[in-house]
Amino acid sequence: MTALGDELATLVTESSDPRYSKIDTLPVADLAAIMNDADATVPGAVRKALPQLVPAIEGVADRMARGGRLLYVGAGTPGRLGVVDASECPPTFNTDPDQVTGIIAGGPAAILNAVEGAEDDESAGVSAMDEAGVGMLDSVVGIASSGRTPFVVAAIARARELGALTVGLSCNTDTRLSAAAEHAIEVPLGPEIVSGSTRLKAGTAQKLVLNMISTITMIRLGKTYGSLMVDVRATNEKLRERAIRIVKLITDADREQALGTLEQVSFDVKLASVMIARGVGEQGARALLDGANGRLRQALEAEK
């Protein structure tokens, strides 16, 4: 067996579970139940990793509060998951497209189609960090189910050299990625139903963790008011209706007042909410929000 073969043989994500040895003979109902049972183990495994996850998120939020960026780096499915999470931040939290980004081995073409050999290219991982201009205020999250993907490990090592906060997310233990990163998040889940197909439980775990990293960071940055999405970018009819409902909930205004005020400020939920709740014009609302560093709760509760 080759050195790589020896290494892969030690990874739980590459192992086989005898319980699944005859799944190709089962009816759909049994297969669905088996998969559902397997998926049900994922949240518990993620919960066990919370002691690793919490300080990582605190570090990301601290750097982003000081103007830094959040970058996800991965290959294959983990890379695509990073791109998906990053792409959801602008419409949900009104972030600049460059503030949260996803970098995938092989470039944008690899989002839709596999790029052969891209995950093995260490030099490309290093170059990706240099080309992104990674610096000391940035946070870079490397995602690799195996924890050994050369592109990702090299990228994280380079990001750490450049002074960025680095996080390694994997579904094995004691991995190269964990050793390379400042913060190691390991979510071991055991064998997949289809051996080695880490788009299954491992992919689900990664999605849950990325949800936590981005969402909790944005909450800490004042992007919500309670559970309300007050930095929503109202770019379509559904989101405009959501903005109206949010303003009504915060201010107890009727629909007509909420809509009219939102239209005055290009559907900026925070501005409209302050204008109505504090009885001020747009300029006064902007001053209150500026004084609260954009945090709606503080702007609403600030002394006049």
Q: Which residues are catalytic?
A: 88, 119
* Both tokens assigned to 295: 């945090």
Task: Give the whole-angstrom CA distance, residue 277 versus residue 285.
Answer: 10
Both tokens of 268, joined, read 């900026």
Q: Where are the alpha helices (DSSP H) in the chain?
A: 3-9, 28-39, 42-48, 50-65, 76-93, 122-131, 150-161, 176-180, 201-220, 237-251, 255-264, 269-278, 282-291, 296-301
What distance lies between CA 115 and its chain's CA centroid?
23
List the one residue out of 264, 201, 269 whose CA is nearest residue 229: 269
* CA distance linking residue 52 with residue 234, whole number of Å: 35
Distances (CA, A) of 96 to 84, 101, 187, 231: 15, 10, 30, 12
Query: Which among 280, 277, 281, 298 is positioned nearest to 289, based on CA atoms?
Result: 298
CA 197 to chain centre: 21
